[in-house]
Amino acid sequence: MRNTFFMMKKAPVLICCAIGALISCGPGAHESAAPAPAEPFQQYELTEAWRTDPVFLIPESVIFDEARDILYVSNMNGDPRVKDGNGFISKLGLDGKIVERNWVDGLDSPKGMALVGNRLYVADITDVVEIDIDKGEISRRTTLDGIKMFNDLASDPEGNIYVTDMDADSIYKYRDGVLTEWLAGGLNAPNGLLVDGERLLVAEQEGMTFRSINIATKENILLTGGINKGDGIASIGVPGHFIVSDWAGELFLIYPDYSKISLLNTKAANSNCADIWFIPSRNLLLLPTYATNDVAAYKLAAR
């Protein structure tokens, strides 16, 4: 989860700082050293493209539906762990204009989302909620005993959905109404997820780390630390380049050698960086601001 947002000054990305060693933990752990880059990686900068009015109610996550050319925004509208029925999903245009603020109501505290076909999947405290996009209504809820707080979702090419239970340090797997515990323990408040080929990338809130888990073997490797309250993960469409958000108000660009730089810092403005989305075809980063109730879009450009 996360807390506040900011107003970016068009600040250029500076230099990348190398990290020392990669440390693995958990089942099948091993150590490997991060190779030093032969030459500096490309530098990037973010420029604000637009920002919505503050019409959302604790926007936690945003996702792009390419088939429909629309953005979905999850609104917690209350405590992240309270089932109050106040949560909802909004539709937002790529120009920053609200299409339908209360598109789907009846959720509790919706957070991360994933898309598979005509279904939108939402992490809603203890439930995986399926939304029929064509009908704009909830079609199924699935839960299990023992779940504490689902936070983020990620889908793989086969349509499997992975879900972090941040409070239980676990990851679940969902497919066709069946929910199973996929990885129990070995993590430290896992939040953001991204499927990257044969691995599942994880941003941890309490561990302040960025991890890789082999989907087949579940081998768990620490890639880099110091990301503070890790939240969302997005690929920028360049191999090995990822943006990881710190819920407290910062965006990090992670390079292929797992060194990192700060792309954006919103802490001075008391603004959060929640669960992000990146559209490579538009070089556009979407950022829900959580406590300030808006969504901002930034253009990513090479320097």
pLDDT tens figures, 174-207: 999 999 999 999 999 999 999 999 999 999 999 9
| Domains, the chain, with CATH or none | 21-302 (2.120.10.30)
110 C-beta neighbours (distance < 10 Å), count: 29
* Better-predicted residue by pLDDT, 296 or 23: 296
d(CA 231, CA 97): 25
Confidence of residue 270 (pLDDT cuts 50, 70, 90): confident
Name the burial class of residue 189, with classes exposed (0-12), middle (13-18) and buried (19+) by CB atoms within 10 angstroms of its CB: buried
The pLDDT of 262-279, averaged and rounded, is 95
Q: Write the pLDDT tens digit of every residue in 90-121.
A: 999 999 999 999 999 999 999 999 999 999 99
List pLDDT tens digits, range 45-56: 999 999 999 999
For residue 11, CA distances in Å to 72, 203, 265 come to: 28, 25, 10
| Residue 233 predicted with pLDDT over 90 | yes
pLDDT at residue 10, as a whole number: 35
